[in-house]
Structure 1
Amino acid sequence: MNKVQLNQYNNKAYKPGSTLKKTLWYFTNMFFFKTLLPFPSSLKVALLKAFGAKVGQRVVVKPDVNVKYPWFLTIGDDCWVGEGVWIDNLAEVTIGDNVVLSQGAYLLTGSHDYTTVAFDLILGKITLEEGVWIGAKATVCPGVTCHSHSVLAVGSTATQDLEPYTVYQGNPAVAKRKRLIGDTQ
């Protein structure tokens, strides 16, 4: 039976940006984002845009947020990114309008092929459509689309696409009920 041989791992084909760009972002991320200092969201949004992110209007970015590569990030209007969120975007992450990422949410775009000797890198983009809520400490795995107004409950893990207007819970997350949104007027 074959065994994993990590000395055969080769990630050289993956080139997410120049060494200079990645280094500049690393220090920007550490100083302005992955800190408990309450820098204003407007500054964080400006920095994300300066590094190539597409960011909409009225986006709130709380302290202690980690973004791997902003040039692979799109965020719509009126989104909230809570404390301790980690956007581990080795691949594209697209966040629609009115999306909430609660405290400690984790968007994970990379994994490994456990069936190969070299434990090859696997990438999958994540899409969070309009009105999605990713609960505290919840994880969205590579290649997942959370469709319009779906909810991933606290501590849950989305390994497959989430249907619109549906609340998911568990690991792996399963549909629990429909999301009904009442008139607030």
Structure 2
Amino acid sequence: MLRGYARVASATDDASDQVERLAAAGVPADRIRVDTSLGTRGARPELEAVLGDLRRGDVLVVARLDRLASSVLHLVQVGQRLRAVGAELRSLEEEVDTTADPGVLPTLDLLAGLQRSLVSASTRAGLDAARARGRRGGRPPRLTAEAAAEAQRLYDEGRSVTEIAEKLDVPRTTVYGHLRRPT
């Protein structure tokens, strides 16, 4: 069974072009769902409904892939849901049809892996560049170098960590993080 999905960015936008294209592709009017969703984080209740209605052998038809998903990763997630129920995908604009080419959805998985790798590599490169400029990640130390030296001196004299923490007005865990204890 053919099921259609269309999306527009705002209530003032018109989905009639997408709906007409879906109808021309053979999707019955009562099987077309339309969402109004702005941006990548907008709720898409009609998409959730159509994905929930899909059964083995159904085909989800969209006018364009960007109307279905907000990113490659989102498209892969939708593709995984389609495969989980045994449904297919057809995009009219891009001429994607998993009923004719079953290799499309696994290809999307590869693209998602590539996207994750690119994001990870970019993040690592940014962190490396920041370190090269002398920047350190994480939270700044709670104790100054002088206060840490004082904590170490008091600890070496036999004071308890609780006493040191009270004297420096910090939690005990902070003191523990700055002590070099004998092994």
User: What TM-score bracket applies, with the shorter chain setting the length?
Assistant: under 0.3
TM-score, reference length from structure 1? 0.23
**Greater helix share, 1 or 2?**
2
Larger Rg: 2
Greater relative contact order (Cα < 8 A, sep 6+)? 2
**Greater strand share, 1 or 2?**
1
